[in-house]
Chains A and B, each alone.
Chain A
Amino acid sequence: MNIWQKLSSIDRRWVFLAMALFVAFPVLKPLGLPVTTTKEVEDIHSFIENLDGTKPIILGLDFGPSTAPELTPMAKALIRHSLSKGIPVLGVSLAPDAPGVANDIMKWAESELNAVMGKDIAYLGYKVGTLNVILQMGQGISKPFPKDYYGNNTDDLPIMEGVETLEDCAMVVGLEATAISDLWIQYAGDQMGVPIGIGMTAVSAPEAYVFYQSGQIVGLMGGMKGAAEYELLVNAPGAAVQGMDAQSLGHIVILVFIILGNLGYFFGTKGQEISRLKSLRDGEK
Protein backbone atom coordinates (compact mmCIF):
# COMPACT_ATOMS: atom_id res chain seq x y z
CA MET A 1 0.00 0.00 0.00
CA ASN A 2 1.61 3.27 -1.09
CA ILE A 3 1.14 6.61 0.66
CA TRP A 4 -1.70 7.66 -1.67
CA GLN A 5 -3.64 4.49 -0.99
CA LYS A 6 -3.06 5.03 2.74
CA LEU A 7 -4.43 8.56 2.35
CA SER A 8 -7.54 7.23 0.63
CA SER A 9 -8.22 4.80 3.44
CA ILE A 10 -7.47 7.13 6.37
CA ASP A 11 -9.82 6.68 9.36
CA ARG A 12 -12.40 9.46 9.13
CA ARG A 13 -11.96 10.16 12.86
CA TRP A 14 -8.59 11.77 12.07
CA VAL A 15 -10.46 14.18 9.81
CA PHE A 16 -12.90 15.00 12.64
CA LEU A 17 -10.02 15.52 15.07
CA ALA A 18 -8.18 17.84 12.66
CA MET A 19 -11.35 19.84 12.09
CA ALA A 20 -12.05 20.08 15.85
CA LEU A 21 -8.52 21.30 16.58
CA PHE A 22 -8.43 23.87 13.79
CA VAL A 23 -11.87 25.23 14.69
CA ALA A 24 -11.31 25.21 18.48
CA PHE A 25 -7.94 26.96 18.39
CA PRO A 26 -9.11 30.32 16.95
CA VAL A 27 -12.21 30.24 19.17
CA LEU A 28 -9.81 30.17 22.15
CA LYS A 29 -7.19 32.45 20.65
CA PRO A 30 -8.57 34.74 17.90
CA LEU A 31 -6.16 35.37 15.03
CA GLY A 32 -7.70 38.64 13.84
CA LEU A 33 -7.94 37.64 10.18
CA PRO A 34 -9.49 40.42 8.10
CA VAL A 35 -13.19 40.34 7.19
CA THR A 36 -14.33 42.40 4.22
CA THR A 37 -17.87 43.63 3.61
CA THR A 38 -19.90 42.88 0.48
CA LYS A 39 -22.43 44.96 -1.41
CA GLU A 40 -25.44 42.80 -0.58
CA VAL A 41 -24.89 43.33 3.16
CA GLU A 42 -23.95 47.00 2.74
CA ASP A 43 -27.24 47.52 0.89
CA ILE A 44 -29.33 46.46 3.92
CA HIS A 45 -27.18 48.65 6.15
CA SER A 46 -27.52 51.71 3.92
CA PHE A 47 -31.28 51.16 3.49
CA ILE A 48 -31.76 51.23 7.28
CA GLU A 49 -29.30 54.11 7.52
CA ASN A 50 -31.54 56.19 5.25
CA LEU A 51 -34.81 55.49 7.09
CA ASP A 52 -36.28 58.45 8.96
CA GLY A 53 -37.30 56.49 12.08
CA THR A 54 -41.02 57.30 11.89
CA LYS A 55 -41.99 53.73 11.04
CA PRO A 56 -40.87 50.52 12.75
CA ILE A 57 -38.99 47.66 11.16
CA ILE A 58 -40.54 44.20 11.26
CA LEU A 59 -37.88 41.71 12.30
CA GLY A 60 -38.85 38.16 11.32
CA LEU A 61 -37.14 35.98 13.94
CA ASP A 62 -37.93 32.72 12.17
CA PHE A 63 -35.21 30.46 13.51
CA GLY A 64 -34.62 28.15 16.45
CA PRO A 65 -31.60 27.06 18.50
CA SER A 66 -30.21 24.83 15.72
CA THR A 67 -29.35 27.83 13.51
CA ALA A 68 -28.85 30.44 16.22
CA PRO A 69 -25.03 30.70 15.81
CA GLU A 70 -25.57 32.11 12.32
CA LEU A 71 -28.72 34.17 12.76
CA THR A 72 -28.62 35.50 16.33
CA PRO A 73 -25.59 37.75 15.60
CA MET A 74 -27.51 39.14 12.59
CA ALA A 75 -30.54 39.91 14.77
CA LYS A 76 -28.43 41.60 17.43
CA ALA A 77 -26.49 43.71 14.91
CA LEU A 78 -29.72 44.75 13.14
CA ILE A 79 -31.44 45.72 16.41
CA ARG A 80 -28.35 47.64 17.51
CA HIS A 81 -28.26 49.54 14.20
CA SER A 82 -32.00 50.27 14.12
CA LEU A 83 -32.16 51.50 17.70
CA SER A 84 -29.09 53.70 17.18
CA LYS A 85 -31.04 55.39 14.37
CA GLY A 86 -34.16 55.71 16.54
CA ILE A 87 -36.05 53.09 14.51
CA PRO A 88 -38.33 50.81 16.59
CA VAL A 89 -38.10 47.07 16.00
CA LEU A 90 -41.15 44.83 16.01
CA GLY A 91 -40.22 41.13 16.28
CA VAL A 92 -42.47 38.33 15.07
CA SER A 93 -41.88 34.59 14.63
CA LEU A 94 -43.33 32.25 12.04
CA ALA A 95 -41.26 29.22 13.09
CA PRO A 96 -42.47 27.18 16.09
CA ASP A 97 -39.03 26.73 17.67
CA ALA A 98 -38.24 30.44 17.51
CA PRO A 99 -39.81 32.03 20.65
CA GLY A 100 -37.13 30.90 23.11
CA VAL A 101 -34.27 32.30 21.04
CA ALA A 102 -36.25 35.42 20.08
CA ASN A 103 -37.09 36.14 23.71
CA ASP A 104 -33.38 35.89 24.62
CA ILE A 105 -32.56 38.41 21.87
CA MET A 106 -35.23 40.83 23.12
CA LYS A 107 -33.98 40.50 26.71
CA TRP A 108 -30.44 41.14 25.44
CA ALA A 109 -31.64 44.34 23.71
CA GLU A 110 -33.32 45.45 26.93
CA SER A 111 -30.24 44.92 29.08
CA GLU A 112 -27.40 45.73 26.65
CA LEU A 113 -28.95 48.53 24.58
CA ASN A 114 -31.32 49.90 27.24
CA ALA A 115 -34.23 49.39 24.84
CA VAL A 116 -37.68 49.96 26.32
CA MET A 117 -39.90 46.92 25.76
CA GLY A 118 -43.12 47.93 24.02
CA LYS A 119 -41.73 51.28 22.87
CA ASP A 120 -38.32 50.72 21.23
CA ILE A 121 -38.72 46.99 20.75
CA ALA A 122 -41.59 44.52 20.95
CA TYR A 123 -41.95 40.81 20.40
CA LEU A 124 -45.31 39.54 19.27
CA GLY A 125 -44.40 35.86 19.58
CA TYR A 126 -45.12 32.89 17.33
CA LYS A 127 -48.28 32.26 15.38
CA VAL A 128 -48.93 29.09 13.45
CA GLY A 129 -49.81 29.29 9.75
CA THR A 130 -46.88 31.18 8.10
CA LEU A 131 -48.59 32.28 4.86
CA ASN A 132 -51.94 33.07 6.52
CA VAL A 133 -50.15 35.06 9.21
CA ILE A 134 -48.40 37.24 6.62
CA LEU A 135 -51.64 37.76 4.70
CA GLN A 136 -53.46 38.66 7.92
CA MET A 137 -50.69 41.08 8.89
CA GLY A 138 -51.43 42.82 5.60
CA GLN A 139 -54.93 43.50 6.93
CA GLY A 140 -53.84 44.32 10.47
CA ILE A 141 -50.79 43.30 12.50
CA SER A 142 -52.86 42.75 15.63
CA LYS A 143 -55.19 40.36 13.79
CA PRO A 144 -52.87 37.35 14.01
CA PHE A 145 -51.10 38.80 17.07
CA PRO A 146 -53.82 40.26 19.35
CA LYS A 147 -51.38 40.03 22.28
CA ASP A 148 -47.60 40.22 22.39
CA TYR A 149 -45.37 37.42 23.72
CA TYR A 150 -45.61 38.86 27.24
CA GLY A 151 -49.44 39.03 27.28
CA ASN A 152 -49.92 42.77 26.56
CA ASN A 153 -52.53 43.95 24.06
CA THR A 154 -50.65 44.56 20.82
CA ASP A 155 -52.71 47.62 19.88
CA ASP A 156 -51.95 49.23 23.25
CA LEU A 157 -48.16 49.08 22.78
CA PRO A 158 -46.59 52.53 22.18
CA ILE A 159 -44.58 51.04 19.27
CA MET A 160 -47.89 50.39 17.44
CA GLU A 161 -48.87 54.05 17.36
CA GLY A 162 -49.74 54.85 13.74
CA VAL A 163 -49.01 51.27 12.72
CA GLU A 164 -51.92 49.16 11.61
CA THR A 165 -50.82 46.90 8.77
CA LEU A 166 -47.56 45.62 7.29
CA GLU A 167 -47.65 48.50 4.81
CA ASP A 168 -47.24 50.96 7.70
CA CYS A 169 -43.79 49.48 8.44
CA ALA A 170 -40.52 50.77 6.98
CA MET A 171 -39.36 47.30 5.94
CA VAL A 172 -39.37 43.63 6.83
CA VAL A 173 -36.06 41.93 7.61
CA GLY A 174 -36.59 38.18 7.67
CA LEU A 175 -33.94 36.11 9.45
CA GLU A 176 -34.68 32.68 8.11
CA ALA A 177 -33.61 29.09 8.54
CA THR A 178 -36.31 27.74 6.23
CA ALA A 179 -38.25 28.77 3.12
CA ILE A 180 -40.28 31.35 5.06
CA SER A 181 -38.19 34.02 3.30
CA ASP A 182 -39.99 33.08 0.07
CA LEU A 183 -43.32 33.98 1.68
CA TRP A 184 -42.09 37.33 2.97
CA ILE A 185 -40.82 38.12 -0.54
CA GLN A 186 -43.92 36.84 -2.38
CA TYR A 187 -46.60 38.38 -0.22
CA ALA A 188 -45.13 41.21 1.89
CA GLY A 189 -42.68 42.28 -0.83
CA ASP A 190 -44.06 41.64 -4.29
CA GLN A 191 -47.77 41.93 -3.43
CA MET A 192 -47.89 44.52 -0.63
CA GLY A 193 -44.84 46.50 -1.77
CA VAL A 194 -43.02 46.46 1.58
CA PRO A 195 -39.19 46.58 1.19
CA ILE A 196 -37.66 43.25 2.20
CA GLY A 197 -34.20 42.44 3.56
CA ILE A 198 -33.20 38.83 4.11
CA GLY A 199 -30.71 37.15 6.44
CA MET A 200 -30.36 33.45 5.80
CA THR A 201 -28.44 30.47 7.01
CA ALA A 202 -25.51 29.78 4.69
CA VAL A 203 -27.18 26.58 3.42
CA SER A 204 -30.13 28.55 2.04
CA ALA A 205 -28.34 31.76 1.02
CA PRO A 206 -27.49 30.78 -2.61
CA GLU A 207 -31.22 30.41 -3.34
CA ALA A 208 -31.88 33.95 -2.14
CA TYR A 209 -29.28 35.59 -4.42
CA VAL A 210 -31.71 35.47 -7.37
CA PHE A 211 -34.09 37.73 -5.44
CA TYR A 212 -31.30 40.18 -4.67
CA GLN A 213 -30.16 40.29 -8.29
CA SER A 214 -33.70 40.91 -9.55
CA GLY A 215 -34.22 43.72 -7.03
CA GLN A 216 -36.99 41.91 -5.11
CA ILE A 217 -35.03 42.31 -1.87
CA VAL A 218 -32.95 45.30 -0.85
CA GLY A 219 -30.07 43.22 0.50
CA LEU A 220 -28.96 39.83 1.73
CA MET A 221 -26.90 38.47 4.61
CA GLY A 222 -25.68 34.90 4.15
CA GLY A 223 -24.63 32.84 7.17
CA MET A 224 -22.05 33.75 9.77
CA LYS A 225 -20.05 35.74 7.20
CA GLY A 226 -23.05 37.98 6.50
CA ALA A 227 -23.57 38.45 10.24
CA ALA A 228 -19.89 39.31 10.74
CA GLU A 229 -20.09 41.90 7.96
CA TYR A 230 -23.09 43.58 9.56
CA GLU A 231 -21.36 43.58 12.95
CA LEU A 232 -18.43 45.38 11.35
CA LEU A 233 -20.70 47.86 9.55
CA VAL A 234 -22.24 48.88 12.89
CA ASN A 235 -18.81 48.92 14.57
CA ALA A 236 -19.78 46.28 17.12
CA PRO A 237 -17.77 43.10 16.47
CA GLY A 238 -19.44 40.21 18.28
CA ALA A 239 -19.85 36.44 18.13
CA ALA A 240 -19.90 36.31 14.32
CA VAL A 241 -16.65 38.28 13.86
CA GLN A 242 -15.07 36.11 16.58
CA GLY A 243 -16.19 33.01 14.70
CA MET A 244 -14.78 34.05 11.32
CA ASP A 245 -11.20 33.03 12.20
CA ALA A 246 -12.42 29.53 13.02
CA GLN A 247 -14.51 29.59 9.86
CA SER A 248 -11.47 30.41 7.73
CA LEU A 249 -9.28 27.73 9.31
CA GLY A 250 -12.10 25.19 9.02
CA HIS A 251 -12.39 25.92 5.30
CA ILE A 252 -8.62 25.54 4.86
CA VAL A 253 -8.75 22.11 6.57
CA ILE A 254 -11.56 21.01 4.26
CA LEU A 255 -9.71 22.29 1.18
CA VAL A 256 -6.58 20.40 2.21
CA PHE A 257 -8.56 17.20 2.77
CA ILE A 258 -10.37 17.58 -0.58
CA ILE A 259 -7.02 17.99 -2.35
CA LEU A 260 -5.41 15.07 -0.48
CA GLY A 261 -8.45 12.87 -1.03
CA ASN A 262 -8.43 13.55 -4.76
CA LEU A 263 -4.68 13.00 -5.01
CA GLY A 264 -5.09 9.73 -3.10
CA TYR A 265 -7.91 8.62 -5.36
CA PHE A 266 -6.08 9.58 -8.55
CA PHE A 267 -2.60 8.31 -7.74
CA GLY A 268 -3.85 5.40 -5.65
CA THR A 269 -6.07 4.05 -8.42
CA LYS A 270 -3.43 4.69 -11.05
CA GLY A 271 -0.87 2.90 -8.87
CA GLN A 272 -3.18 -0.09 -8.55
CA GLU A 273 -3.70 -0.15 -12.30
CA ILE A 274 0.07 -0.08 -12.95
CA SER A 275 0.65 -2.90 -10.43
CA ARG A 276 -2.04 -4.96 -12.13
CA LEU A 277 -0.46 -4.42 -15.57
CA LYS A 278 2.99 -5.25 -14.19
CA SER A 279 1.78 -8.51 -12.64
CA LEU A 280 0.10 -9.44 -15.94
CA ARG A 281 3.34 -8.78 -17.81
CA ASP A 282 5.34 -10.80 -15.27
CA GLY A 283 2.85 -13.65 -15.66
CA GLU A 284 3.33 -13.64 -19.43
CA LYS A 285 7.10 -13.94 -18.99
Chain B
Amino acid sequence: MIFNLIAPFNTPEGLGIWIAAFLTLCIFSFLYKDNPFYKFAEHLFVGVSTGYYISIYYWNTLKPNLIDELRKGFSALGEGNVQKAFGLDENGSIIAEPHLRMVVPLMLGIFIFLIFISRKNAWLSRISFAWYIGVASGIAIPASMATRVLIQAQGSVRDFCIFNAGCANAAGLDPQTATTSLWINSALLLIGTLCAVAYFFFSLPSKGVLKAMNKVGIYFLMISFGASFGYTVMARISLLIGRFQFLFYDWLGINI
Protein backbone atom coordinates (compact mmCIF):
# COMPACT_ATOMS: atom_id res chain seq x y z
CA MET B 1 0.00 0.00 0.00
CA ILE B 2 1.59 3.27 -1.10
CA PHE B 3 0.43 6.74 -0.05
CA ASN B 4 0.76 9.28 -2.83
CA LEU B 5 -0.01 12.92 -2.30
CA ILE B 6 -3.52 13.62 -1.13
CA ALA B 7 -5.64 15.07 -3.96
CA PRO B 8 -4.20 18.53 -4.80
CA PHE B 9 -6.26 21.49 -3.71
CA ASN B 10 -5.23 23.87 -6.49
CA THR B 11 -6.76 22.14 -9.55
CA PRO B 12 -10.48 22.10 -10.43
CA GLU B 13 -10.53 18.30 -10.27
CA GLY B 14 -8.65 18.23 -6.95
CA LEU B 15 -10.96 20.84 -5.46
CA GLY B 16 -13.95 18.78 -6.59
CA ILE B 17 -12.49 15.70 -4.88
CA TRP B 18 -11.98 17.65 -1.64
CA ILE B 19 -15.52 18.98 -1.68
CA ALA B 20 -16.91 15.50 -2.40
CA ALA B 21 -14.79 14.00 0.39
CA PHE B 22 -15.91 16.66 2.87
CA LEU B 23 -19.58 16.13 2.00
CA THR B 24 -19.18 12.34 2.21
CA LEU B 25 -17.74 12.66 5.72
CA CYS B 26 -20.54 15.08 6.65
CA ILE B 27 -23.13 12.48 5.65
CA PHE B 28 -21.23 9.66 7.41
CA SER B 29 -21.21 11.77 10.61
CA PHE B 30 -24.95 11.09 10.97
CA LEU B 31 -24.09 7.49 11.86
CA TYR B 32 -22.74 8.81 15.17
CA LYS B 33 -25.55 11.28 15.77
CA ASP B 34 -27.44 14.11 14.11
CA ASN B 35 -25.24 17.22 13.81
CA PRO B 36 -24.92 20.55 11.92
CA PHE B 37 -22.45 19.10 9.36
CA TYR B 38 -24.94 16.42 8.36
CA LYS B 39 -27.76 19.00 8.20
CA PHE B 40 -25.61 21.24 6.00
CA ALA B 41 -24.80 18.41 3.56
CA GLU B 42 -28.43 17.24 3.52
CA HIS B 43 -29.80 20.72 2.76
CA LEU B 44 -27.12 21.33 0.15
CA PHE B 45 -28.02 18.04 -1.55
CA VAL B 46 -31.72 18.91 -1.67
CA GLY B 47 -31.00 22.40 -3.03
CA VAL B 48 -28.48 21.29 -5.64
CA SER B 49 -30.73 18.41 -6.78
CA THR B 50 -33.71 20.72 -7.18
CA GLY B 51 -31.67 23.27 -9.12
CA TYR B 52 -30.17 20.55 -11.30
CA TYR B 53 -33.53 18.98 -12.17
CA ILE B 54 -35.18 22.35 -12.88
CA SER B 55 -32.30 23.25 -15.18
CA ILE B 56 -32.37 19.84 -16.94
CA TYR B 57 -36.12 19.97 -17.54
CA TYR B 58 -35.98 23.59 -18.71
CA TRP B 59 -33.18 23.04 -21.25
CA ASN B 60 -34.38 19.58 -22.36
CA THR B 61 -38.12 20.11 -22.49
CA LEU B 62 -39.53 23.56 -21.90
CA LYS B 63 -37.10 25.55 -24.03
CA PRO B 64 -36.76 23.35 -27.16
CA ASN B 65 -40.30 21.96 -27.16
CA LEU B 66 -42.32 24.97 -26.04
CA ILE B 67 -40.52 28.31 -25.83
CA ASP B 68 -38.52 27.96 -29.07
CA GLU B 69 -41.53 26.62 -30.96
CA LEU B 70 -43.79 29.45 -29.80
CA ARG B 71 -41.11 32.01 -30.66
CA LYS B 72 -40.76 30.60 -34.18
CA GLY B 73 -44.56 30.52 -34.51
CA PHE B 74 -45.01 34.15 -33.45
CA SER B 75 -42.13 35.15 -35.71
CA ALA B 76 -43.86 33.49 -38.70
CA LEU B 77 -47.12 35.12 -37.67
CA GLY B 78 -45.36 38.51 -37.63
CA GLU B 79 -44.21 37.84 -41.21
CA GLY B 80 -47.83 37.19 -42.15
CA ASN B 81 -47.22 33.47 -42.83
CA VAL B 82 -50.17 32.02 -40.88
CA GLN B 83 -49.79 28.50 -42.26
CA LYS B 84 -46.15 28.27 -41.22
CA ALA B 85 -47.00 29.80 -37.85
CA PHE B 86 -49.26 26.81 -37.11
CA GLY B 87 -46.82 24.23 -38.46
CA LEU B 88 -48.42 23.66 -41.86
CA ASP B 89 -46.76 23.63 -45.28
CA GLU B 90 -48.02 25.38 -48.43
CA ASN B 91 -50.47 22.53 -49.09
CA GLY B 92 -51.87 22.72 -45.57
CA SER B 93 -50.22 19.45 -44.48
CA ILE B 94 -48.82 19.15 -40.97
CA ILE B 95 -45.03 19.48 -40.71
CA ALA B 96 -42.82 18.11 -37.93
CA GLU B 97 -42.30 21.47 -36.20
CA PRO B 98 -45.54 22.32 -34.38
CA HIS B 99 -44.85 26.05 -33.72
CA LEU B 100 -48.10 27.65 -32.45
CA ARG B 101 -49.85 24.28 -32.20
CA MET B 102 -47.88 24.00 -28.95
CA VAL B 103 -50.46 26.36 -27.47
CA VAL B 104 -52.69 23.29 -26.94
CA PRO B 105 -50.26 21.41 -24.63
CA LEU B 106 -49.41 24.74 -22.99
CA MET B 107 -53.09 25.25 -22.13
CA LEU B 108 -53.35 21.66 -20.85
CA GLY B 109 -50.38 22.35 -18.61
CA ILE B 110 -51.87 25.60 -17.31
CA PHE B 111 -55.16 23.80 -16.58
CA ILE B 112 -53.33 21.47 -14.18
CA PHE B 113 -51.96 24.44 -12.23
CA LEU B 114 -55.49 25.86 -11.86
CA ILE B 115 -55.96 23.37 -9.01
CA PHE B 116 -53.60 25.55 -6.95
CA ILE B 117 -54.65 28.93 -8.33
CA SER B 118 -58.43 29.03 -8.80
CA ARG B 119 -60.95 26.74 -7.09
CA LYS B 120 -63.66 28.03 -9.44
CA ASN B 121 -61.80 26.92 -12.58
CA ALA B 122 -60.08 23.88 -11.08
CA TRP B 123 -62.45 21.58 -12.98
CA LEU B 124 -60.52 22.37 -16.18
CA SER B 125 -57.64 20.27 -14.85
CA ARG B 126 -59.79 17.19 -15.45
CA ILE B 127 -59.43 17.71 -19.20
CA SER B 128 -55.64 17.58 -18.87
CA PHE B 129 -55.69 14.54 -16.60
CA ALA B 130 -58.23 12.76 -18.83
CA TRP B 131 -56.04 13.30 -21.87
CA TYR B 132 -52.87 12.28 -20.03
CA ILE B 133 -54.36 9.15 -18.46
CA GLY B 134 -56.02 8.15 -21.73
CA VAL B 135 -52.82 8.40 -23.77
CA ALA B 136 -50.63 6.80 -21.09
CA SER B 137 -53.06 3.90 -20.60
CA GLY B 138 -53.43 3.36 -24.32
CA ILE B 139 -49.67 3.06 -24.72
CA ALA B 140 -48.91 1.15 -21.54
CA ILE B 141 -51.71 -1.40 -21.07
CA PRO B 142 -51.29 -3.52 -24.24
CA ALA B 143 -47.49 -3.61 -23.88
CA SER B 144 -47.65 -4.42 -20.15
CA MET B 145 -50.20 -7.18 -20.74
CA ALA B 146 -47.94 -8.76 -23.35
CA THR B 147 -44.68 -8.39 -21.41
CA ARG B 148 -45.78 -8.98 -17.83
CA VAL B 149 -48.71 -11.37 -18.24
CA LEU B 150 -48.85 -13.27 -21.55
CA ILE B 151 -45.14 -13.86 -22.16
CA GLN B 152 -44.58 -14.49 -18.43
CA ALA B 153 -47.37 -17.11 -18.43
CA GLN B 154 -45.68 -18.79 -21.39
CA GLY B 155 -42.35 -18.51 -19.60
CA SER B 156 -43.57 -20.46 -16.58
CA VAL B 157 -43.97 -23.62 -18.71
CA ARG B 158 -41.51 -22.78 -21.48
CA ASP B 159 -38.64 -24.97 -20.26
CA PHE B 160 -40.78 -28.13 -20.33
CA CYS B 161 -40.78 -27.71 -24.10
CA ILE B 162 -37.13 -28.72 -24.26
CA PHE B 163 -38.04 -32.31 -23.38
CA ASN B 164 -40.03 -32.69 -26.60
CA ALA B 165 -37.95 -32.27 -29.76
CA GLY B 166 -40.82 -30.91 -31.85
CA CYS B 167 -41.92 -28.40 -29.24
CA ALA B 168 -38.30 -27.33 -28.56
CA ASN B 169 -37.66 -26.66 -32.24
CA ALA B 170 -40.89 -24.66 -32.52
CA ALA B 171 -39.96 -22.57 -29.46
CA GLY B 172 -36.38 -22.04 -30.67
CA LEU B 173 -34.90 -24.01 -27.75
CA ASP B 174 -32.02 -26.46 -27.89
CA PRO B 175 -33.16 -30.04 -27.02
CA GLN B 176 -29.51 -30.87 -26.22
CA THR B 177 -29.78 -28.76 -23.05
CA ALA B 178 -32.46 -31.05 -21.55
CA THR B 179 -31.12 -32.29 -18.20
CA THR B 180 -32.61 -33.69 -15.01
CA SER B 181 -31.74 -30.51 -13.10
CA LEU B 182 -33.54 -28.40 -15.73
CA TRP B 183 -36.60 -30.63 -15.36
CA ILE B 184 -36.53 -30.20 -11.56
CA ASN B 185 -36.06 -26.43 -11.91
CA SER B 186 -38.92 -26.19 -14.39
CA ALA B 187 -41.20 -28.21 -12.09
CA LEU B 188 -40.25 -26.02 -9.10
CA LEU B 189 -40.93 -22.88 -11.11
CA LEU B 190 -44.35 -24.10 -12.18
CA ILE B 191 -45.32 -25.28 -8.68
CA GLY B 192 -44.02 -22.04 -7.14
CA THR B 193 -45.91 -19.87 -9.64
CA LEU B 194 -49.20 -21.74 -9.22
CA CYS B 195 -49.00 -21.88 -5.42
CA ALA B 196 -47.95 -18.21 -5.05
CA VAL B 197 -50.82 -17.12 -7.31
CA ALA B 198 -53.19 -19.40 -5.34
CA TYR B 199 -52.15 -17.61 -2.13
CA PHE B 200 -53.74 -14.43 -3.52
CA PHE B 201 -56.98 -16.16 -4.52
CA PHE B 202 -59.50 -14.97 -1.93
CA SER B 203 -62.80 -16.07 -3.45
CA LEU B 204 -62.79 -19.53 -1.85
CA PRO B 205 -62.16 -20.49 1.80
CA SER B 206 -58.64 -21.73 2.44
CA LYS B 207 -59.42 -25.43 2.86
CA GLY B 208 -58.18 -28.74 1.45
CA VAL B 209 -56.06 -28.47 -1.69
CA LEU B 210 -56.20 -24.65 -1.69
CA LYS B 211 -54.91 -24.56 1.91
CA ALA B 212 -51.99 -26.82 0.98
CA MET B 213 -51.22 -24.66 -2.06
CA ASN B 214 -51.40 -21.50 0.08
CA LYS B 215 -48.89 -22.97 2.51
CA VAL B 216 -46.48 -23.92 -0.26
CA GLY B 217 -47.05 -20.49 -1.83
CA ILE B 218 -46.05 -18.76 1.42
CA TYR B 219 -42.76 -20.67 1.47
CA PHE B 220 -41.99 -19.63 -2.11
CA LEU B 221 -42.89 -16.01 -1.29
CA MET B 222 -40.66 -16.08 1.80
CA ILE B 223 -37.75 -17.40 -0.26
CA SER B 224 -38.30 -14.61 -2.77
CA PHE B 225 -38.39 -11.98 0.01
CA GLY B 226 -35.16 -13.44 1.39
CA ALA B 227 -33.50 -13.19 -2.03
CA SER B 228 -34.68 -9.57 -2.33
CA PHE B 229 -33.31 -8.79 1.14
CA GLY B 230 -29.94 -10.33 0.25
CA TYR B 231 -29.74 -8.30 -2.94
CA THR B 232 -30.72 -5.13 -1.06
CA VAL B 233 -27.93 -5.71 1.47
CA MET B 234 -25.51 -6.21 -1.43
CA ALA B 235 -26.66 -2.96 -3.04
CA ARG B 236 -26.20 -0.92 0.14
CA ILE B 237 -22.77 -2.39 0.86
CA SER B 238 -21.79 -1.67 -2.76
CA LEU B 239 -22.55 2.00 -2.20
CA LEU B 240 -20.43 2.00 0.97
CA ILE B 241 -17.60 0.30 -0.92
CA GLY B 242 -17.90 2.93 -3.65
CA ARG B 243 -17.53 5.73 -1.10
CA PHE B 244 -14.58 4.02 0.62
CA GLN B 245 -12.88 3.47 -2.74
CA PHE B 246 -13.35 7.18 -3.47
CA LEU B 247 -12.06 8.30 -0.05
CA PHE B 248 -9.06 5.95 0.00
CA TYR B 249 -8.02 5.94 -3.65
CA ASP B 250 -9.10 9.33 -5.05
CA TRP B 251 -8.91 11.57 -1.97
CA LEU B 252 -6.15 10.07 0.15
CA GLY B 253 -4.25 8.81 -2.92
CA ILE B 254 -3.65 5.31 -1.56
CA ASN B 255 -2.36 2.92 -4.23
CA ILE B 256 -2.84 -0.77 -3.46
Shortest Cβ distance from residue A209 to the other chain B in the assembled complex, whole angstroms: 9
Specify which of A187, A190, A206, A247 is in contact with B151 (CB 8 Å cutoff): A190
Q: A190-B147, A250-B240 are in contact. Are A203 and B232 (CB under 8 A)?
A: yes
With contact pairs A127-B60, A182-B147, A213-B155 given, residues A13 and B31 touching in the complex (Cβ less than 8 Å)? yes
Chain A residues near B152 (CB, 8 Å)? 210, 214
**Most A Cβ at <10 Å: residue of B31, B139, B224, B235:** B235
**Is B241 within 8 A of A214, CB to CB?**
no
Interface status of B187 (Cβ within 8 A of chain A): no
Complex partner residue of B147 from A135, A186, A239, A247, CB under 8 angstroms:
A186
Instruction: Tell me, rounded to whole Å, the shortest Cβ–Cβ distance linking B165 to chain A.
Output: 18
Q: CA separation between A266 and B31, bound complex, in Å? A: 27
Interfacial residues of chain A within 204-238, with CB under 8 A of chain B in the complex = 205-206, 210, 213-216, 222-225
Please name the residue on chain A nearest to B189 by beta carbon. Answer: A213
The listed residue (A29, A129, A223, A254) touching B235 by CB distance below 8 A is: A223
- Neighbouring B residues of A213 by C-beta, 8 Å: 155, 189
Interface SS of chain B: helix
Q: What distance in Å separates the Cβ of A27 from its nearest Cβ neighbour in chain B?
A: 5
A137 at the interface (CB under 8 A from B): no
CB-based contact A203/B227 at 8 Å: no
Minimum CB distance partner of A191 in chain B: B143
* A:31-88 near B, CB below 8 Å: 66-70
Q: Using an 8 Å CB-CB cutoff, how does the interface string of A239-257 with B read, 1 for contact, 0 for none?
A: 1001100110011001000
Q: How large is the interface on B (under 10, 10 to 19, 20 to 34, 35 or more residues)?
A: 35 or more
B154:A69 contact, CB within 8 angstroms? no
User: Would you give the 0/1 interface string for A117-146, flagging 1 where the beta carbon is closer than 8 Å to chain B?
Assistant: 000000000111101000100000000000
Asked if A27 meets B241 with Cβ closer than 8 Å, knowing A96-B53, A206-B227, the reply is yes
Q: Enumerate B206-256 residues with CB–CB distance to A below 8 Å.
A: 224, 227-228, 231-235, 237-245, 248, 254, 256
On chain B, the residues within 8 Å of A222 by CB distance are: 231
Q: Which A residues lie within 8 Å of B61 (CB)?
A: 128-129
Note all chain B residues with C-beta closer than 8 A to A67: 239
Is B1 part of the binding interface, using a Cβ–Cβ cutoff of 8 Å? yes
Assuming the A-B contacts A127-B60, A186-B146, are A214 and B151 also in contact, with contact meaning beta carbons closer than 8 angstroms in the complex? Answer: yes
Q: Is B183 an interface residue (CB 8 A)?
A: no
In the complex, A224→B146 CA distance in Å? 31
Q: Are A28 and B256 in contact (CB under 8 A)?
A: yes
Question: What is the chain A residue whose CB lies nearest that of B242?
Answer: A69
- Residue numbers in B under 8 Å from A163 (CB-CB): none
Q: Assess the A206–B224 pair: CB atoms within 8 A.
A: yes
Cα(A210)–Cα(B158), bound, Å: 12
Please report the number of residue pairs spanning A and B whose Cβ atoms sit closer than 8 angstroms.
127
Q: Give residues of chain A (159-208) contacting chain B, Cβ–Cβ below 8 Å.
A: 182, 185-187, 189-191, 201-203, 205-206
Pairwise interchain contact A251-B1, C-beta atoms closer than 8 A: no
Residue-wise, chain B 1-44 has the 8 Å CB interface mask toward A (1 for contact) of 10000000000000000000000000000011000000000000
Tell me, yes or no, whether A105 is within 8 Å of chain B by CB. Answer: no
How far, in Å, is A246 (CB) from chain B's closest CB? 5
With A128-B57, A224-B238, A250-B237: A30-B256 Cβ-Cβ less than 8 Å: yes
Q: Report if A23 contacts B (CB, 8 A).
A: yes
Interface centre among B143, B156, B243 (most CB of A within 10 A): B143
Given contacts A96-B53, A206-B224, contact A214 B158 (CB under 8 A): yes
Q: Is B184 at the interface (CB under 8 A from chain A)? A: no
Q: In the complex the two chains form, is B146's CB within 8 Å of A202's CB?
A: no
Which residues of chain A have C-beta atoms less than 8 A from B254's C-beta?
28
Cα of A127 to Cα of B56 in the assembled complex, Å: 9
Within 8 A of A (CB), among B41-70: 52-53, 56-57, 60-61
12 A-B residue pairs with Cβ-Cβ distance under 8 Å, sorted by A, are A30-B256, A68-B242, A128-B57, A128-B60, A135-B139, A187-B143, A190-B147, A202-B231, A223-B235, A239-B245, A247-B234, A251-B237
Chain B interface (Cβ < 8 Å from any Cβ of A): 1, 31-32, 52-53, 56-57, 60-61, 139-140, 143-144, 146-147, 151-152, 154-156, 158, 189, 224, 227-228, 231-235, 237-245, 248, 254, 256
